[in-house]
């Protein structure tokens, strides 16, 4: 058998004459050729049929591989877009320009999206809630919700501010027992939606700076609502009769269909007719809330 394959540097240098070098080049070239052939054949045999659009989308992306889209790189994002796991506007670096080009490749249209921001479906300030009892337990909505009898309405806001505590952006203040959202600070993360034990905070698409919201969640008939609240929805269906595209009454409770959001003057007519005062605007300019916020900050 052959001797141990140890390399002695001095003998190596001595052996490096022209013939050895040529031979070395020839040997390596031969080996390279061999492996290139093997890999070339393997590539043909093991070809994976890939959607050609993935390559096209990858080409229009910025190739920064920054990961800002939440995927491992531009190629991964391109794959996700083609497989409809990601929106074509998902590249934060490329912006709308890249989104348009991706949309052109995929043959789809870029849909304008609205920011989703939270609103609370309860409009009863603490003094408008009936049947409240004094509650000295743990001051949190979750606890009070388990106790269950702290106020007459079992649907409405409890007012202990679990949503305020859950907000990482300091965008919620409790005013008169109701959460008030600071939409300049809010990022729409949804922490408050998850924190609310009564599930009355919902994220709605903000088409305009101010959005109309039904500020009630009570699904009982009107008579029972009147017993527990001064401003609850009584399910009279007036709004549905006036503007069926925008309003719908289910389970004695009105809902706004934001897909059919009507123009302001039509909305105003309905709001004027509503006997229960449950139609409230949420959004940026709200002077009375702004005042309350400045007072608290001062």
Task: Provide the minimum distance between the beta carbon of 36 and another protein in the complex, in angstroms, as a whole number.
Answer: 8
In the bound state with another protein, the residue whose beta carbon lies nearer, of 70 and 260, is 70
Q: Residue 235 is encoded by which pair of tokens?
A: 């399910």
The residues binding another protein (CB under 8 A) are 1-7, 11-12, 15, 19-20, 23-24, 27-28, 31-32, 35, 38-39, 42-43, 46-48, 72
The runs of H, that is alpha helices, within 107-218 are: 141-147, 162-166, 191-195
In the bound state with another protein, the residue whose beta carbon lies nearer, of 14 and 146, is 14
Task: Provide the minimum distance between the beta carbon of 49 and another protein in the complex, in angstroms, as a whole number.
Answer: 10
In the bound state with another protein, the residue whose beta carbon lies nearer, of 11 and 113, is 11
The runs of H, that is alpha helices, within 61-195 are: 74-82, 95-106, 141-147, 162-166, 191-195
In the bound state with another protein, the residue whose beta carbon lies nearer, of 16 and 108, is 16
In the bound state with another protein, the residue whose beta carbon lies nearer, of 25 and 290, is 25
Residue that has been written with the tokens 């141990």 in this structure: 4
Task: Provide the minimum distance between the beta carbon of 33 and another protein in the complex, in angstroms, as a whole number.
Answer: 11
In the bound state with another protein, the residue whose beta carbon lies nearer, of 26 and 244, is 26
Residues in contact with 260: Cβ distance below 8 Å, sequence separation at least 6, in sequence order: 245, 246
Count of other CB atoms within 10 angstroms of residue 42: 10
Q: In whole angstroms, what is the distance from residue 296 CA to residue 290 CA?
A: 10
Q: In whole angstroms, what is the distance from residue 270 CA to residue 281 CA?
A: 13
CA distances from 100 to 82, 109, 157 (A): 14, 8, 43
Are 156 and 123 a contacting pair, CB within 8 Å?
A: no
Ramachandran angles phi, psi of 118, nearest 5°: -80, 145
């Amino acid at each position: 058998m052959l001797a141990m394959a140890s390399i002695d540097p001095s003998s190596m240098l001595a052996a490096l004459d022209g013939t050895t070098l040529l031979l070395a080049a020839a040997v390596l070239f031969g080996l390279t050729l061999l492996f290139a052939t093997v890999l070339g054949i393997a590539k043909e045999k093991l070809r994976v049929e890939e959607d050609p659009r993935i390559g096209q989308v990858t080409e229009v992306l910025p190739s920064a591989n920054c990961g800002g889209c939440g995927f491992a790189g531009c190629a991964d994002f391109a794959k996700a877009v083609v497989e409809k796991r990601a929106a074509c506007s998902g590249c934060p670096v490329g912006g709308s320009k890249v989104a348009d080009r991706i949309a052109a490749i995929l043959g789809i249209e870029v849909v304008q999206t609205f920011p989703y921001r939270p609103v609370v479906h309860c409009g009863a300030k603490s003094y408008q809630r009936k049947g409240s009892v004094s509650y000295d337990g743990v001051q949190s909505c979750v606890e009070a919700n388990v106790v269950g009898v702290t106020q007459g309405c079992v649907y409405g806001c409890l007012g202990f501010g679990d949503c305020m505590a859950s907000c990482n952006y300091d965008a919620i203040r409790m005013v008169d027992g109701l959460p008030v959202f600071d939409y300049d600070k809010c990022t729409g993360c949804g922490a408050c939606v998850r924190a609310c034990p009564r599930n009355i905070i919902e994220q709605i698409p903000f088409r305009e700076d101010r959005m109309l919201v039904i500020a009630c969640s009570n699904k009982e008939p009107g008579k029972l609502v009147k017993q527990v609240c001064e401003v609850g929805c009584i399910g009279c269906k007036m709004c549905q009769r006036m503007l069926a595209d925008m309003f719908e009454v289910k389970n004695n409770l009105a809902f706004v269909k934001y897909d059919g959001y009507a123009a302001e003057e039509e909305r105003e007519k309905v709001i004027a007719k509503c006997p229960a005062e449950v139609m409230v605007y949420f959004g940026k300019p709200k002077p009375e809330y702004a005042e309350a916020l400045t007072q608290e900050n001062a």
